[in-house]
Amino acid sequence: MTGLHFCLENTELATSRLLVNYPEPFRSEILDYLFKPNFGASLHILKVEIGGDGQTTDGTEPSHMHYELDENYFRGYEWWLMKEAKERNPNIILMGLPWSFPGWLGKGFSWPYVNLPLTAYYIVKWILGAKHYHDLDIDYIGIWNERPFDANYIKELRKMLDYHGLQRVKIIASDNLWEPISSSMLFDRDLWKAVDVIGAHYPGTRTVWNARMTGKKLWSSEDFSTFNNDVGAGCWGRILNQNYINGNMTSTIAWNLVASYYEELPYGRSGLMTAQEPWSGHYVVEAPIWITAHTTQFTQPGWYYLKTVGHLEKGGSYVALTDGLGNLTIIIETMSHKHSMCIRPYLPYYNVSRQLATFTLKGSLREIQELQVWYTKLRGPSERLHFKQLDSLWLLDSSGSFALELQEDELVTLTTLTTGHKGSYPPPPKSRPFPRSYKDDFNVDYPFFSEAPNFADQTGVFEYYINNEDPGQHRFTLRQVLNQRPITWAADASSTISIIGDYHWTNMTVQCDVYIETPQRGGVFIAGRVTKGGILVRTATGVFFWIFANGSYRVTADLGGWITYTSGRADITAKRWYTLRLSIKGYFASGMLDGKVLWENVPVKYSGNGWAAIGTHTFEFAQFDNFHVEAAH
């Protein structure tokens, strides 16, 4: 027998952004499909991003410490998500990993290792806050996603955890490649002692000699990332087995948990299921949910892989696990090359064909008389063949042998456990596009979430704000709260931006009240037909209508401001509210300031469609109110 086994999934990178504002009962149904034991994916682990205010693939997530003396453990939605997961499965394992860090930690550099104790303290504060404010115990903590590690930082983090009584929190490193972390651990005894798990990303089911030599647990700590159709499901089924068979990895974590972000952002629909329409309540339980169930419903953290695991003669693979108490689960997959390609890495060709596979139970397992059978056929005529319970397999002759006829693109689980269940709810509402007429006045007295629904921050952080100085109509606003560039993970833009709406919109009118807080240098914009977000946000094009505190306005074809359509002077200053209105129709756009035309019929030749957006010129405080968009048919 070898190693502890988990099967895990994770959320990160602002990929659950749209989930939080789903109406009930649909939001709870989605969470049940993900986390409820013996219902759907029955996940064993939830890995979350430790928000760092920077862009992390499909959006930014807020930090618990935007500024040096600031602490708030109620921002974003990760706390909520962890609590919902724990409520359904109290045994779920929780992991945290930073992608970006707030700018103040870098002391002027875009680097988190300038002051090692400070960064360690910042991470430990997050763990302590999870416990203090939400009664959440974080089990594993990571270093810096897919970026260099600093061995001294890892040791400092271990020291800081221990000092705060967090000996039970384990360190996983380095959420990148197998090297150089593995060889560094072999050469550095203190580093070896500090790291509990080596986590690699997209390992292609393979590990390296040095990683095995450390004797540590090996995990594929980010994998999958593939469009969630049947081919994505095939990828997931294959690597769940073969990451252990080929690479000795006892855990595989899927990026991402649920595709709850605008589909046209990078890696659209790369979640285990799809829930990207809170305005309609529509969601889809995709095939990867049921592929996951084949493993997660019939094993638990702490089960052991048996030594007899491997590849089938005519393609495919099998693993067997036991709890050491007489229970046995065997998972067999025959995913074909063509229908199980993951987004990365390259998959060398192999062949799978029809075969008769014979299995023999030996030793104490000979006493097993009945195995439950769960079956999935991908690319079949219907979804009815996803995670279907078939008749039990009876082992009545004394040989302990049985034979299975296997076709390609199948997944079979044989198990002594009788608790498996294919959960279901009535069909959710039908899919509908984002409403063509949409308003938000941000008048929320005690917001449950810090962010306004449907706005997806792509650079900067936009939060509900109570303006105590303004008892008038702008008491409740949406405020951009970053005043310096974060320690970035991706290529964040130089201007902050939050997108909303339907990517397919062409003709639209966007209106918003805006308030520049920075005298002379400050500026804000509203925009339409915005084409890019996520890691590509710097290259966003569209129609951007900017006003500046120095008394000028500009209309540009891009977020970077490289291409100017028109510009001029206007009566604008900081610390005053203005109403901006941008109308785009066909190849022309017009703009109004406080109800008066400021510029009109300006030819706009770039992007023909895209989202609406708001934002600021630099990382600066500014406020927005009474947002309203009307998209024409």
Positions marked active-site: 146, 222
Q: Characterize the bridge pairing of strands 588-593 and 596-603.
A: antiparallel
Determine the 3-state secondary structure of 31 from DSSP: helix
* Gap between the Cα atoms of 286 and 202, Å rounded: 21
Scanning the structure block, which residue is given the tokens 């064909």? 353
* Gap between the Cα atoms of 267 and 269, Å rounded: 6
Contact 372, 294 (CB under 8 A): no
Contact 493, 618 (CB under 8 A): no
* Alpha carbon distances (Å) from 209 to 213, 214, 244, 464, 545: 6, 9, 15, 51, 56
Give which of 625, 621, 623 is closest to 515, Cα–Cα. Answer: 623
* Gap between the Cα atoms of 250 and 243, Å rounded: 8
* Gap between the Cα atoms of 562 and 498, Å rounded: 20
Give which of 170, 173, 119, 128 is closest to 148, Cα–Cα. Answer: 173
Handedness of CA 56, 58, 63, 67 (dihedral sign): positive
Give which of 258, 228, 285, 291 is closest to 426, Cα–Cα. Answer: 285
Q: Quick one: tokens of 438?
A: 């949409």
Determine the 3-state secondary structure of 596 from DSSP: strand
* Gap between the Cα atoms of 256 and 218, Å rounded: 20
**The three-state (H, E, C) secondary structure of 509-562, written as one string:** EEEEEEEECCCCCCEEEEEEEECCCHHHHHHCEEEEEEEECCCEEEEEEECCCC
Contact 452, 407 (CB under 8 A): no
